[in-house]
Amino acid sequence: MKVTDHLDRATRPIISFEIIPPVRGGNFGDLTDLIEDLVRFEPPFIDITSHAAEAIYEETSAGIKKKIKRKRPGTLGICALIQNKYNVDAVPHILCHGFTREETEDVLIEFRYLGIDNVLAVRGDTLDYKKTIEGHRTINRWAGDLVRQIANMNRGAYLEDDLLDADASEFCIGVSGYPEKHIEAPNLKTDLQRTKAKVDAGAEYIVTQMFFDNRHFFEYEKRCREIGIDVPIIPGLKILSSKSQLTSIPGTFHIDIPADLSDEVMAAKDAHVSGIGLDWTLRQAEELLSRKVPALHFFVMQNSRTITKLLDRLQP
Q: What is the pLDDT of residue 68?
A: 47
Rounded to 10 deg, the angle between the 188-201 and 143-154 helix axes is 20
Alpha carbon distance 55, 74 (integer Å): 18
281-314 burial: b if 16+ Cβ within 10 Å, else e: bbebbeebbeeebbbbbbbbeeebebbeebbeeb
The answer, yes or no, to whether residue 164 has pLDDT greater than 90, is no
Specify the length of the chain in residues.
316
Non-local CB neighbours of 307 within 8 Å, separated by 6+ positions: 17, 38, 239, 298, 300
Query: How many domains in the chain?
Result: 1
User: What DSSP character marks residue 126?
Assistant: P
The answer, yes or no, to whether residue 162 has pLDDT greater than 80, is no
What is the per-residue pLDDT across 136-150, written as a single tens digit (0 to 9) for each?
778 899 999 999 999
For the chain, the average pLDDT equals 90
Q: Are 183 and 209 in contact (CB under 8 A)?
A: no
Supply the CATH number for residue 208's domain. 3.20.20.220
Q: Domain limits at 169? A: 3-313
Q: Are 82 and 48 in contact (CB under 8 A)?
A: yes
Instruction: Evaluate if pTM is beyond 0.85.
Output: yes
What is the per-residue pLDDT across 110-139, written as a single tens digit (0 to 9) for each?
999 999 999 999 998 655 555 566 667 788
